[in-house]
Chains A and B, each alone.
Chain A
């Protein structure tokens, strides 16, 4: 079946602009995560959804970052007033709910460049 998809694959924007990054999780997966991976670093947690609600948003760096998942499937990460330091690969992952290890399946990421 289809894996996690993310669009766009690349996004170039100018400092101060607003961007939206989209994640389509694996069908039926109730948990959805956003991570940010800077060059030469591992993924860093941003926010986690269980269904429609944000179960943990402790990783969001500041109030310029916001994410939604209105119908419990597709999620959008929104960044306002982008800064050059926001340049990174934004990864989305999804997992099922239940007993077990609940493996997180990652999408290919959106590479954001802020000029």
Chain B
């Protein structure tokens, strides 16, 4: 079993839909959780960063962490065609400079 599991999709939704992306993990030491967006042939870029359990909102994006269930989510409201990309969850046990453990990514297409 991989440390981080993520449904690879692909996921296709109409423009304006609410998108829910999820990851589960097995290492209870993980405390720092991130969501990266990766466009085709580009490097990942950080979207959201959260520490421990709870919610964090940034514009149309909301990240949720449930450490008791070892489950994290990213919600995208009012999805746009420009949101079409691969979304990667990532996590680490420590803050600061530390290697990240990634899920395999979920490929999202938002259809106009």
Contacts and interface: CB of A to CB of B under 8 A. Distances in A.
A21 interface: no
A45 B44 CA distance: 14
Contact of B100 (A4, A45, A98, A99): A45
Nearest to A48: B99
Contacts of A33: 99
Interface in B81-112: 88, 90, 95-105
Interface of A: 4, 30-31, 33, 35, 40-45, 48, 50, 55-56, 59, 91, 93, 95, 97-109
Contacts of B61: none
A43 B95 contact: no
Contact of A107 (B36, B43, B88, B99): B43
Nearest to B49: A101
B32 interface: yes
Contacts of B44: 43, 91, 106
Contacts of B105: 40-42
Nearest to A6: B43
B100 A40 contact: no
21 contacts: A4-B43, A30-B97, A33-B99, A35-B102, A41-B104, A42-B104, A42-B105, A43-B102, A45-B99, A45-B100, A45-B101, A50-B97, A91-B44, A93-B43, A99-B96, A100-B95, A103-B46, A107-B43, A108-B42, A109-B41, A109-B42
* Residue among B4, B8, B41, B96 with max Cβ neighbours from chain A (10 Å): B96
6 closest A-B pairs by beta carbon, nearest first, are A106-B43, A42-B102, A45-B99, A31-B97, A42-B104, A106-B44
B101 A48 contact: no
B43 A56 contact: no
B104 A102 contact: no
A104 B100 contact: yes
A114 to B, nearest CB: 19
B24 interface: no
B45 A106 contact: yes
